[in-house]
Structure 1
Amino acid sequence: MPSTDNAPDADVRANEEMVQDAIRVIWNDGDLDRIPESYTEDFVSHQPKEGFRWEPGRDGLRQLLTGTRKLFPDYHEHIEDCVASGDRVVLRLRNTGTLSEAMAGGPGKSFEVADFMLARVDGGKIAEQWGRFDLFGMYA
């Protein structure tokens, strides 16, 4: 017989919505003041070394996002798919942006790359994040 307790399903949906909202508001809109609403104080990123790796905690995330916005003022993470189970949320993303500084390809060079993210949610906030994106695609 199916469970009539909807609390776990509601928690999973809330986690999914919170992670998607963090992408939209913090990463896409650049509202860094909203970081404490979506990320734990001791947030840890497990990004690969060849990607965008940053220091633990909210301050490290703020530094990364500030640098990202400086290089790519129009940076955007397009959510293609989102699946949640328990305290985990997985996203398939398509990231886009236009380079503002002299770097591989020079100012004005646009990119579009595939990205995957796994977030662990604790207490309604992102506590850990794993990701893999096509870094080399940014330079193609």
Structure 2
Amino acid sequence: MSAMEVTRMNGENKALCRRVVDCINSRQLDEGAALHAPFYVYQGPGMQFRGPEGWRQLVTMYLNAFPDMVLQIDDVIAEGDKVALRFTAKGTHRGELAGINGTGRPVTVPCISVMRFANGKIIEEYEVFDNLGLFQSIGRMPALTAEV
């Protein structure tokens, strides 16, 4: 593959990654699901989802818990068939999440997702985020304090 082809592929994959975020922010889940391959696999903290419908279930779970959720892209890096996305999720905890009813508390959660692409679709996604900070924000866990 020539350098020009790699540059083009990197740009296309980054644009697709941004489009997924746009679909979440605009609640266009049908369009977002269509950007994922039938054999797509998501791996996140304690979670695994498969296929476009699995992606929709994942996003719906978070939108039900945080109806005003917005994802803000902080950084996008592409290399070959992979894109690393650093983003911040912000919202208000109004619905159930992991057995915890809505608290009305605001959350800001830093996240990193690495996606792999093939034939213009997302085929794999590995995501990490500040789970501890999320649960501290909604009052499920006490905040850590440093003693000097």
Output the TM-score relative to the length of structure 2: 0.81
Please state if 1:45 is matched with 2:71: no
2:126 is aligned to 130
Distance 1:88 1:107, change over 3 A: same
Q: Is the 8 A contact 1:54 1:61 kept in 2?
A: no
Question: Superposed, which structure 2 residues align to 1:6-21 within 5 Å?
Answer: 6-21=4-19
**CA RMSD, aligned part only?**
2.1
1:78 is aligned to 72
Q: Is the 8 A contact 1:111 1:139 kept in 2?
A: no
Shift of 1:59: 1.3
- Secondary structure, counterpart of 2:20 in structure 1: helix
- Secondary structure, counterpart of 2:38 in structure 1: strand
2:91 is aligned to 97
Distance 2:39 2:109 in 1: 28
Shift of 1:107: 2.8
Q: Give the share of equivalent positions with the same residue, in percent.
A: 27
- Secondary structure, counterpart of 1:46 in structure 2: strand
**Residue 136 of structure 1 aligns to which amino acid in structure 2?**
L
Aligned positions, number? 134
2:114 is aligned to 118
Distance 1:95 1:43 in 2: 22
Structure 2 residues not aligned, in runs of 5+: 137-148
Structure 1 residues not aligned, in runs of 5+: none
Output the TM-score relative to the length of structure 1: 0.86
Q: Is the 8 A contact 2:65 2:96 kept in 1?
A: no
Shift of 1:96: 0.8
Please state if 1:108 is matched with 2:104: yes
Shift of 1:127: 0.4
Distance 1:33 1:109, change over 3 A: same
**Residue 8 of structure 1 aligns to which amino acid in structure 2?**
V
